[in-house]
Amino acid sequence: MTDNETINSTAKWTVLSDSEFAALGGGHLAYVREIDSEKATSLIGKPVAVEPGTHIFAVYGADGEPLAITDSRAAAIANAEEHELMPMNVH
């Protein structure tokens, strides 16, 4: 028996509902993701005018709720940390 078989034979799996899965990390994690201007517009609800080539970053709560939009990854991370959330990058 390999180590993987030992682990798999003793593991107990829990199936999470969509809402339970979305709540994982709630209040503790934030996800930082680079987005395009169209996505920023859909999050804000009005057109976002940016220069071509401008990077836009969104900060999302663990449940996918948009929390902030900014023009730098550093500012997005700082925003998450300011709200006592651990920032995680999403690609």
Q: Tell me what the pLDDT averaged over the chain comes to.
A: 81
CA distance 69 to 66: 8
- Whole-number pLDDT of residue 33: 94
For residue range 43-78, list pLDDT tens digits in order: 888 887 888 778 899 999 888 889 999 999 999 999
Q: In 1-91, where do the E strands start and end?
A: 29-35, 56-61, 66-70, 86-89
pTM of model > 0.95: no
